[in-house]
Chains A and B, each alone.
Chain A
Protein backbone atom coordinates (compact mmCIF):
# COMPACT_ATOMS: atom_id res chain seq x y z
CA UNK A 1 0.00 0.00 0.00
CA UNK A 2 2.78 2.38 0.90
CA UNK A 3 4.54 1.53 -2.28
CA UNK A 4 1.63 2.70 -4.38
CA UNK A 5 1.40 5.99 -2.62
CA UNK A 6 5.16 6.36 -3.00
CA UNK A 7 4.94 5.74 -6.70
CA UNK A 8 2.16 8.28 -7.07
CA UNK A 9 3.98 10.95 -5.14
CA UNK A 10 7.25 10.34 -6.90
CA UNK A 11 5.67 10.45 -10.35
CA UNK A 12 4.04 13.74 -9.52
CA UNK A 13 7.30 15.08 -8.12
CA UNK A 14 9.18 14.29 -11.26
CA UNK A 15 6.46 15.75 -13.42
CA UNK A 16 6.40 18.93 -11.40
CA UNK A 17 10.16 19.39 -11.55
CA UNK A 18 10.16 18.86 -15.30
CA UNK A 19 7.41 21.40 -15.55
CA UNK A 20 9.45 23.89 -13.53
CA UNK A 21 12.49 23.35 -15.67
CA UNK A 22 10.69 23.64 -18.94
CA UNK A 23 8.01 26.22 -18.40
CA UNK A 24 8.18 29.43 -20.31
CA UNK A 25 6.61 31.76 -17.85
CA UNK A 26 8.01 32.60 -14.48
CA UNK A 27 4.68 32.60 -12.67
CA UNK A 28 3.92 29.13 -13.89
CA UNK A 29 7.24 27.92 -12.48
CA UNK A 30 6.34 29.37 -9.14
CA UNK A 31 2.96 27.67 -9.08
CA UNK A 32 4.64 24.40 -9.91
CA UNK A 33 7.16 25.02 -7.14
CA UNK A 34 4.36 25.49 -4.67
CA UNK A 35 2.83 22.20 -5.60
CA UNK A 36 6.23 20.57 -5.56
CA UNK A 37 6.74 21.61 -1.99
CA UNK A 38 3.34 20.27 -1.02
CA UNK A 39 4.31 16.93 -2.53
CA UNK A 40 7.62 16.89 -0.69
CA UNK A 41 5.78 17.56 2.53
CA UNK A 42 3.46 14.65 1.85
CA UNK A 43 6.51 12.49 1.24
CA UNK A 44 7.76 13.41 4.65
CA UNK A 45 4.45 12.41 6.18
CA UNK A 46 4.71 9.13 4.32
CA UNK A 47 8.12 8.60 5.85
CA UNK A 48 6.55 9.10 9.27
CA UNK A 49 7.91 12.54 10.15
CA UNK A 50 4.82 14.70 10.45
CA UNK A 51 6.68 17.44 12.22
CA UNK A 52 9.05 17.84 9.33
CA UNK A 53 6.20 17.87 6.84
CA UNK A 54 4.33 20.60 8.62
CA UNK A 55 7.50 22.59 9.14
CA UNK A 56 8.28 22.36 5.46
CA UNK A 57 4.84 23.54 4.52
CA UNK A 58 4.96 26.53 6.77
CA UNK A 59 8.52 27.56 6.14
CA UNK A 60 8.85 26.79 2.50
CA UNK A 61 5.48 27.54 1.14
CA UNK A 62 4.69 30.29 3.49
CA UNK A 63 8.09 31.90 3.36
CA UNK A 64 10.28 31.21 0.45
CA UNK A 65 7.83 30.72 -2.32
CA UNK A 66 5.98 33.87 -1.31
CA UNK A 67 9.26 35.74 -1.33
CA UNK A 68 10.10 34.42 -4.74
CA UNK A 69 6.71 35.42 -6.02
CA UNK A 70 7.21 38.94 -4.79
CA UNK A 71 10.56 39.04 -6.52
CA UNK A 72 9.09 37.63 -9.69
CA UNK A 73 6.45 40.26 -9.78
CA UNK A 74 9.13 42.78 -10.61
CA UNK A 75 9.59 41.35 -14.05
CA UNK A 76 7.22 42.24 -16.83
CA UNK A 77 5.40 39.32 -18.30
CA UNK A 78 7.31 37.70 -21.10
CA UNK A 79 8.11 34.32 -22.45
CA UNK A 80 11.40 32.98 -21.21
CA UNK A 81 13.54 30.65 -23.19
CA UNK A 82 16.59 28.52 -23.18
CA UNK A 83 19.53 30.28 -24.63
CA UNK A 84 22.58 28.32 -23.60
CA UNK A 85 24.52 26.09 -25.82
CA UNK A 86 22.64 22.94 -26.56
CA UNK A 87 25.72 20.83 -25.94
CA UNK A 88 25.40 21.49 -22.24
CA UNK A 89 22.61 18.92 -22.07
CA UNK A 90 25.41 16.37 -22.00
CA UNK A 91 26.32 17.37 -18.47
CA UNK A 92 23.05 16.45 -16.73
CA UNK A 93 22.82 13.27 -18.79
CA UNK A 94 26.31 12.30 -17.70
CA UNK A 95 25.42 13.08 -14.15
CA UNK A 96 22.33 10.93 -14.05
CA UNK A 97 24.20 8.11 -15.69
CA UNK A 98 26.85 8.28 -12.99
CA UNK A 99 24.40 8.57 -10.15
CA UNK A 100 22.41 5.60 -11.21
CA UNK A 101 25.42 3.34 -11.07
CA UNK A 102 26.88 4.59 -7.82
CA UNK A 103 27.32 1.40 -5.86
CA UNK A 104 25.43 0.81 -2.71
CA UNK A 105 27.48 -0.33 0.28
CA UNK A 106 24.97 -2.61 1.91
CA UNK A 107 22.16 -4.70 0.64
CA UNK A 108 18.77 -3.15 0.15
CA UNK A 109 17.35 -2.51 3.54
CA UNK A 110 13.78 -2.37 4.55
CA UNK A 111 12.73 0.39 6.77
CA UNK A 112 12.53 0.33 10.48
CA UNK A 113 9.31 2.20 10.29
CA UNK A 114 8.43 4.32 13.21
CA UNK A 115 11.09 6.17 15.03
CA UNK A 116 10.60 7.69 18.38
CA UNK A 117 8.87 10.82 17.18
CA UNK A 118 8.09 12.67 20.41
CA UNK A 119 11.70 12.70 21.39
CA UNK A 120 12.73 14.62 18.30
CA UNK A 121 12.73 17.91 20.11
CA UNK A 122 14.75 16.60 23.06
CA UNK A 123 17.18 14.91 20.71
CA UNK A 124 17.60 17.98 18.60
CA UNK A 125 18.24 20.33 21.45
CA UNK A 126 20.54 18.01 23.32
CA UNK A 127 22.74 16.84 20.47
CA UNK A 128 22.52 19.63 17.97
CA UNK A 129 22.21 22.57 20.27
CA UNK A 130 25.36 24.24 18.95
CA UNK A 131 24.21 23.90 15.36
CA UNK A 132 20.87 25.40 16.24
CA UNK A 133 22.63 28.27 17.90
CA UNK A 134 24.79 28.84 14.84
CA UNK A 135 21.80 28.63 12.56
CA UNK A 136 19.93 31.10 14.69
CA UNK A 137 22.75 33.59 14.63
CA UNK A 138 23.18 33.17 10.90
CA UNK A 139 19.47 33.66 10.43
CA UNK A 140 19.65 36.89 12.36
CA UNK A 141 22.57 38.02 10.29
CA UNK A 142 20.86 37.22 7.03
CA UNK A 143 17.78 39.01 8.22
CA UNK A 144 19.79 42.10 8.86
CA UNK A 145 21.56 41.71 5.51
CA UNK A 146 18.29 41.49 3.64
CA UNK A 147 16.84 44.45 5.45
CA UNK A 148 19.98 46.45 4.80
CA UNK A 149 19.89 45.66 1.12
CA UNK A 150 16.29 46.57 0.71
CA UNK A 151 16.71 49.75 2.66
CA UNK A 152 19.62 50.83 0.56
CA UNK A 153 17.56 50.17 -2.51
CA UNK A 154 14.62 52.10 -1.26
CA UNK A 155 16.52 54.79 0.50
CA UNK A 156 17.71 56.48 -2.66
Chain B
Protein backbone atom coordinates (compact mmCIF):
# COMPACT_ATOMS: atom_id res chain seq x y z
CA UNK B 1 0.00 0.00 0.00
CA UNK B 2 1.44 3.29 1.12
CA UNK B 3 5.07 2.90 2.04
CA UNK B 4 5.85 3.98 5.57
CA UNK B 5 8.48 6.49 4.47
CA UNK B 6 5.82 8.66 2.85
CA UNK B 7 3.94 9.03 6.05
CA UNK B 8 7.10 9.75 7.95
CA UNK B 9 8.05 12.48 5.50
CA UNK B 10 4.60 13.92 5.75
CA UNK B 11 4.62 14.08 9.51
CA UNK B 12 8.11 15.49 9.66
CA UNK B 13 7.20 18.25 7.24
CA UNK B 14 4.15 19.06 9.33
CA UNK B 15 6.28 19.08 12.44
CA UNK B 16 8.80 21.45 10.95
CA UNK B 17 6.15 23.82 9.71
CA UNK B 18 4.65 23.85 13.17
CA UNK B 19 8.08 24.55 14.64
CA UNK B 20 8.38 27.46 12.29
CA UNK B 21 5.07 28.70 13.56
CA UNK B 22 6.23 28.29 17.15
CA UNK B 23 9.38 30.23 16.61
CA UNK B 24 8.22 33.07 14.49
CA UNK B 25 4.91 34.09 15.94
CA UNK B 26 4.66 36.20 18.98
CA UNK B 27 1.07 35.54 19.89
CA UNK B 28 0.41 32.97 22.56
CA UNK B 29 -2.62 31.48 20.88
CA UNK B 30 -0.62 30.95 17.71
CA UNK B 31 1.87 29.10 19.84
CA UNK B 32 -0.81 26.80 21.20
CA UNK B 33 -2.18 26.20 17.69
CA UNK B 34 1.27 25.18 16.50
CA UNK B 35 1.52 22.75 19.37
CA UNK B 36 -1.79 21.24 18.29
CA UNK B 37 -0.41 20.74 14.80
CA UNK B 38 2.58 18.92 16.28
CA UNK B 39 0.34 16.66 18.29
CA UNK B 40 -1.74 15.81 15.28
CA UNK B 41 1.34 14.97 13.27
CA UNK B 42 2.45 12.62 16.01
CA UNK B 43 -0.98 11.03 16.03
CA UNK B 44 -0.73 10.30 12.34
CA UNK B 45 2.67 8.74 12.94
CA UNK B 46 1.43 6.47 15.67
CA UNK B 47 -1.56 5.35 13.68
CA UNK B 48 0.62 4.61 10.70
CA UNK B 49 2.97 2.58 12.86
CA UNK B 50 0.09 0.53 14.08
CA UNK B 51 -1.18 0.12 10.54
CA UNK B 52 2.09 -1.24 9.27
CA UNK B 53 2.92 -3.72 11.94
CA UNK B 54 -0.51 -5.06 12.67
CA UNK B 55 -0.30 -4.39 16.39
CA UNK B 56 -2.84 -2.36 18.24
CA UNK B 57 -0.24 -0.61 20.39
CA UNK B 58 0.03 2.41 18.17
CA UNK B 59 -3.65 3.14 18.18
CA UNK B 60 -3.80 2.83 21.93
CA UNK B 61 -1.03 5.34 22.29
CA UNK B 62 -2.80 7.59 19.83
CA UNK B 63 -6.00 7.54 21.84
CA UNK B 64 -4.20 8.28 25.06
CA UNK B 65 -2.28 11.12 23.47
CA UNK B 66 -5.53 12.54 22.26
CA UNK B 67 -6.83 12.61 25.79
CA UNK B 68 -3.65 14.19 27.04
CA UNK B 69 -3.79 16.84 24.36
CA UNK B 70 -7.23 17.76 25.52
CA UNK B 71 -6.39 18.55 29.04
CA UNK B 72 -3.11 20.16 28.19
CA UNK B 73 -4.95 22.53 25.88
CA UNK B 74 -7.54 23.15 28.57
CA UNK B 75 -4.98 24.18 31.15
CA UNK B 76 -3.10 26.25 28.61
CA UNK B 77 -6.19 28.16 27.67
CA UNK B 78 -7.08 28.74 31.29
CA UNK B 79 -3.64 30.22 31.78
CA UNK B 80 -4.01 32.34 28.66
CA UNK B 81 -7.28 33.75 29.86
CA UNK B 82 -5.74 34.50 33.19
CA UNK B 83 -2.83 36.17 31.50
CA UNK B 84 -5.14 38.22 29.33
CA UNK B 85 -6.92 39.44 32.39
CA UNK B 86 -3.65 40.76 33.72
CA UNK B 87 -1.94 42.19 30.68
CA UNK B 88 -4.75 42.73 28.21
CA UNK B 89 -2.77 41.46 25.33
CA UNK B 90 -1.40 38.11 24.36
CA UNK B 91 2.22 38.69 23.62
CA UNK B 92 4.96 36.37 24.49
CA UNK B 93 7.45 39.12 24.98
CA UNK B 94 5.65 40.39 28.04
CA UNK B 95 6.13 37.03 29.74
CA UNK B 96 9.70 37.71 30.66
CA UNK B 97 8.70 40.30 33.16
CA UNK B 98 7.12 37.66 35.32
CA UNK B 99 10.18 35.53 35.89
CA UNK B 100 11.41 34.59 39.30
Name the residue of chain B whose CB is nearest to the CB of A86: B24
Contact of B59 with A68 in the complex, beta carbons under 8 Å: no
Interface size on A, as a range, is 35 or more
Contact of A67 with B18 in the complex, beta carbons under 8 Å: no
Name the residue of chain A whose CB is nearest to the CB of B71: A142
Within 8 A of A (CB), among B2-61: 2-6, 8-10, 12-21, 23-27, 29-30, 32-34, 36-37, 40, 43-44, 47-48, 50-56, 59-60
Chain B residue numbers with a CB within 8 Å of A84 are 23-24, 26
Number of A-B contacts (CB under 8 A): 218
Number of interface residues of B (CB under 8 A): 68
Contact of A26 with B51 in the complex, beta carbons under 8 Å: no
Name the residue of chain B whose CB is nearest to the CB of A48: B51
Contact with B along A85-126 (1 / 0, CB 8 A): 000110110011001100010001111110110011001100
Contact of B30 with A119 in the complex, beta carbons under 8 Å: no
Given contacts A68-B33, A116-B56, contact A96 B73 (CB under 8 A): no
Of A40, A109, A138, the contact of B43 (CB 8 Å cutoff): A40
Of B19, B25, B73, B74, the contact of A95 (CB 8 Å cutoff): B19
Contact of A115 with B51 in the complex, beta carbons under 8 Å: yes
Name the residue of chain A whose CB is nearest to the CB of B93: A83
Q: How far is the CA of A64 from the CA of B29 in the complex (A)?
A: 12
Task: Answer whether residue A74 sits at the interface, using C-beta atoms and an 8 A cutoff.
Answer: yes
Given contacts A52-B47, A145-B78, contact A135 B67 (CB under 8 A): yes
Query: A32 to nearest B CB, angstroms?
Result: 9
A-B contact pairs, 27 of them (CB 8 A): A14-B14, A20-B34, A20-B37, A21-B17, A21-B20, A43-B44, A43-B47, A49-B51, A55-B63, A60-B36, A67-B74, A70-B77, A75-B90, A95-B15, A95-B19, A99-B12, A100-B9, A104-B4, A110-B3, A112-B51, A116-B56, A127-B60, A135-B67, A142-B72, A142-B74, A145-B75, A150-B81
Q: Which 3 A-B pairs have the closest CB atoms?
A: A142-B71, A21-B21, A149-B78
